[in-house]
Structure 1
Amino acid sequence: MVHHTMATSNTSAASASSRMSSMVRILMTAGIVGTLAACTSVPLPPLRPLPPTAPAPAPAPAAPSTPAAPEDGVLPGAVVRGKARWVPVRWSELPGFDQDALHEAWNAWIRSCERPAPPHAALCPEVRRLSIGSAEDQRAWLQQRLQPYRIEPLQAAETLLTGYYEPMLQATRLPGGAQQVPLYAPPPDLATRRPWYTRQEIDTLPQARAGLRGREIAWLADPLDALALQIQGSGRLRITEPDGRVSVVRLAYAGSNEQPYRSVGAWLLQQGALRDASWPGIKAWARANPQRLQELLWSNPRVVFFREEPLSDFDAAFGPRGAQGVPLTPGRSIAVERDSVPYGTPMWLSSPGPLLPLNRLVFAQDTGSAIVGAVRADYFTGWGPEAGEIAGRLKQPLALWVLWPR
């Protein structure tokens, strides 16, 4: 999944909508039934000089009380990867480690085990067995099998947590009434014409419009909703068919025009048009300035194309597939800079707020072109308007730890 973060300015907890409270409870407490899919390996370059991975224990059920690794042992050396320095630390340094509801994270871990990277693959049989273990067993197993490394940037950089989500939008299969904004499948010549036409050229040039004729998947009423869907990279549509039937489908990322991404929030800030460049602030500005809406849209030349996918009841319990190739889990999946953290890596995330205080186990399962920096993450909040409300406002300090096999 390729996406760009939407939040572009700090906001206080007081500025958040009261609708956020129920979504926060969902993110903090919802558990999803895990799947028991088989592990397959995805090769990644080895890290240097991490200590060799300990051999997996004999396949046996987790003991009722797994002893944790001692906290007074010798720590391994630091590791440099990408733009990051991994500095080994004690488990006691992880904020809130004793309070996290780890069973909620286990669903995301089992999904990661569908496409694990060495040396995480060796842990997957134990991860599956522990999906029905107690919180004490899960916590002790983490301490015994994994070594925490604090991530530090090699160069001075902002530490930042933002959010992204899966929009849930009303659509029609054919244009009509207010539904006049198309969502497109890739044009036939996308692979041969690089970059493809800009957003403004698609709206104004006959040859660009001709290239997309017949590629319309569905139609929306609000061009900002279409832009949000393209920024997030995927979404869910409740589509009304010509015969009146209604179905819910997922639109997944299928390519882009390969034009540069430009934040519409940053454009508004440069124009001096507003101070709150969160997504709710952007939509409020657009409602107040309809005569400038087209100018706002054209400030971002990048256009994303989609493919339609069926959405079963099981699929609906997870988000779209991230860059790791596994479905995302609300509140437990993050997008990272891949050069600094391999896909599928369990991590500890800590952010003080103000919007959403977090201390929890998460998994590096996605990336995005806006995710640049060693201590930088996009937090998957789920789907629908409440998830979008949080994702659109989330911008706060961040600390990250990699949890790497001993």
Structure 2
Amino acid sequence: MGRVRTALLCLLGLVLASCATPPAPPPSSPTTLPPTSAPTAPWPATPPGTAAALTGPGVRLQPAQWADLPGWPQDDFSGVWQAFRRDCGARLPSALAAVCRRAASVPADDPQSQRAFIEAEFAPWQITASGKPDQEDKGLITGYYEPVLHGSLTRIWPYVVPVWGLPADLVPRAPGADGVSGGRVAWVDGQQRVLPYWSRAQIQSDPALQAALDRHTVVWLDSAVDALFLQVQGSGLVRLPSGQTLRLSYAGTNGWPYKSVGRWLLDTGRVNGTITMSIIRAWAQMHPAEVPEMLAANPRVVFFNAALDTDPQRGPIGALGVPLTAMRSIAVDKRAIALGLPVWLSTAQPYDSRAPAPQPLNRLVFAQDVGSAITGAVRADLFTGTGDAAGELAGRMQWPGRMWALLPVNP
């Protein structure tokens, strides 16, 4: 969602990026994914210019056949055409735009025709990362979601937690050793300098800073923990007392690197074992006096745009500029994979301790979003939907996986 969403690198899907070590998968886990079967002749021919335009320099493409894609015949294509047609509403590379024009005649309610069209117009190429011996074809697959929160446009109890819009004094800054890319102009020894923008801890400890940022508040929430989850995800819906819905979208950050509060809970011994969104919320409810310290462990602050939304069911807007489709949209590293590109994703269902073994998750998805922690060729964040159930699903999703780019054969 053009968001920070600094990754769901833990069991909290982006909520706790890199927060805790996931449960050890059983022997049948996709951590030991079977090798891709050898392609059957002839290999699909895709013009070199098309591959160069749709993938980045760190990507190696291995030719494949449809039969090489795990689970390709079993995908029921639910939501595929919606996501694909949304793709086509964006500004796409010319090769994809040409396919979109030919797709206009395909019925929206005919999965068989849609599958036949995809097979005729695209060829699968397995995505591998260069420079990573023995692991170049596998990467981390995580999940993210859109939270639904409660708030008010005015500060009135219990809505006292501000969500800030982009402050006027935030300027770009070349990050130094501190890694901070957000800056503020200040006078130092009679000269103007660009200093790092305020961290979360600095803001929390300075009432004057808080008051200055409060002038840019776009909505007031009733929970500091909900505000944390919103900042990690990078977008959300807010139900207002009037019954209206406010949609929040990413506007920028203070430029500080993201630090996981889940990691902080583990490192400080406050929580042991697996960290989930529910565990963070429960801990915060039991230790309200320590919540500011927990929040300050993450120096990054995310700023938001806000607009009244007349269609909360449409999904948040991704970096491609189109609404995301649950379980069909992914965030990628756009330096490696062009936004708008169809991708075959092969990983496992979100972890469930009640299941005897992880179940496969194979589906056609579309690169429609980005995330600051989504880096590399074989790396994706699957959008699981809107609301608490989607959040729990995203929070349990962290498995290795493989990816195939579907490149146009007739650009």
Q: Could you tell me the TM-score, scaled by structure 1's length?
A: 0.79
Structure 2 gap segments, 5+ residues each? 12-21, 26-38, 172-182, 185-194, 352-358
Counterpart for residue 304 of structure 1: 302
The residue type equivalent to 1:246 in the other structure is G
**What is the deviation of 1:218?**
1.9
Maintained 8 Å contact 2:164/2:214: no
Equivalent residue number for residue 270 of structure 1: 267
Is 1:403 paired with 2:406? yes
Say yes or no: does 1:365 pair with 2:334.
Answer: no
Secondary structure, in 3 states, of the residue corresponding to 2:262?
helix
For the residues of structure 2 that align with 1:354 and 1:255, how far apart are their CA atoms? 30
CA deviation map 1:2-29 (0-9, x unaligned):
122235142589xxxxxxxxxxxxxxxx
* Alpha-carbon distance in 2 for matches of 1:205, 1:136: 60
Matches within 5 A, 1:194-233: 195-233=196-234
Mapped partners of 2:310, 2:360: distance in 1: 32
Conserved? CA contact 1:248–1:311, under 8 Å: yes
What SS does structure 2 have at the residue aligned with 1:397? strand
Structure 2 distance, partners of 1:310, 1:82, is 40
Q: How many percent identity over aligned positions?
A: 40
Cα offset, 1:71, TM superposition: 6.1
2:339 alignment partner, SS class: coil
Q: Deviations over 1:246-284 (max 9, x none)?
A: 311101111211111111122223334322123223223
Q: Which moved more, 1:168-177 or 1:75-84?
A: 75-84
Query: For residues 347 and 131 of structure 1, do their structure 2 counterparts lie closer, same or farther at Cα, with a shift above 3 Å needed?
Result: farther
1:119 to 65, 77, 95: 95
**Deviation digits for residues 84-127 of structure 1 (CA, Å, limit 9, x no counterpart):** 21111011011111121225211111111112222100001222
1:154 to 1:266, Cα distance in 2 relative to 1, 3 A: farther
Rounded to whole Å, the distance in 1 between the matches of 2:257 and 2:341 is 29
Report the counterpart of residue 174 of structure 1 in structure 2: 154
Q: Structure 2 vs 1, CA of residues 71 and 312 (structure 1 numbering), >3 Å: closer, same or farther?
A: farther
Q: Tell me what 2:237 maps to.
A: 236
Q: CA offsets per residue over residues 164-219 of structure 1, 9 Å max, x none?
A: 11110011223333322111112221237164211111111234223213222222
Q: Which residue of 1 aligns with 2:191?
A: none
The corresponding residue for 1:107 is: 82
**Aligned residue in 2 for 1:183:** 163
Aligned to 2:7: 5
Which secondary structure state, in structure 2, belongs to the residue aligned with residue 269 of structure 1? Answer: helix
1:29 corresponding residue in structure 2: none
Equivalent in 243, 248, 260 of residue 246 of structure 1:
243
Give the SS at the match of 2:168: coil
Does the 8 A contact of 1:7 with 1:277 survive in 2?
Answer: no
Of 184-193 and 88-97, the range deviating more from structure 2: 184-193
8 Å CA contact 2:245, 2:310 repeated in 1: no
| Per-residue Cα deviation, 1:21-71 (whole angstroms, up to 9, x for no partner) | xxxxxxxxxxxxxxxxxxxxxxxxxxxxxxxxxxxxxxxxxxxxxxxxx96
Q: TM-score, normalised by structure 2?
A: 0.78
Aligned pairs, number: 345
- Which among 97, 117, 121 is matched to residue 141 of structure 1? 117
Q: For residue 60 of structure 2, what is the aligned residue in structure 1?
A: 85
Alignment match, 2:378: 375
The verdict on how the C-alpha distance between 1:270 and 1:346 changes in structure 2, with shifts beyond 3 A counting, is same
- Larger CA deviation: 90-99 vs 135-144: 135-144
Aligned to 1:284, what secondary structure does the other structure show? helix
Instruction: Give the structure 2 partner of residue 261 of structure 1.
Output: 258
Q: In structure 2, do the counterparts of structure 1 residues 111 and 204 end up closer, same or farther at CA, with 3 Å as the change threshold?
A: same
Residue of structure 1 in register with 2:19 after alignment: none
Residue type matched to 1:120 in 2? L
Q: In structure 2, do the counterparts of structure 1 residues 172 and 11 end up closer, same or farther at CA, with 3 Å as the change threshold?
A: farther
* Cα distance in 1, alignment partners of residues 214 and 221 from structure 2: 16
> What value does the CA root-mean-square deviation take over the aligned residues?
2.4
> Residues 6 and 278 of structure 1 are in contact (CA less than 8 Å); yes or no, is this contact kept in structure 2?
no
Say if 1:12 and 1:354, in contact at 8 Å, map to a contact too.
no
Tell me, which stretches of 5 or more residues in structure 1 are unaligned?
14-69
Q: 1:228 to 1:131 in 2, by over 3 A?
A: farther
Which residue, out of 287, 290, 293, partners 2:291?
293
1-structure distance, mates of 2:131, 2:289: 43
2:122 partner amino acid: L
Q: Is the 8 A contact 1:71 1:91 kept in 2?
A: no
User: C-alpha distance in 2, partners of 1:213/1:249?
Assistant: 18
* Counterpart for residue 389 of structure 1: 392
> Partners in 1 of 2:392 and 2:43 — Cα distance?
45
Tell me which residue corresponds to 1:72. 41
Pick which of 352-361 and 161-170 moved more: 352-361
Aligned residue in 2 for 1:345: 341
Q: CA 1:282–1:83 in structure 2 vs 1: closer, same or farther (change >3 Å)?
A: farther
**Partner residue of 1:152?**
128
Please tell me whether the aligned partners of residues 179 and 221 of structure 1 are also in contact (alpha carbons under 8 angstroms): yes
Letter in 2 for 1:106: W
Question: Could you tell which deviates more after superposition, 95-104 or 204-213?
Answer: 204-213
> In 2, Cα distance between the equivalents of 1:312 and 1:164?
23
Deviation of 1:82 (Å)? 3.3
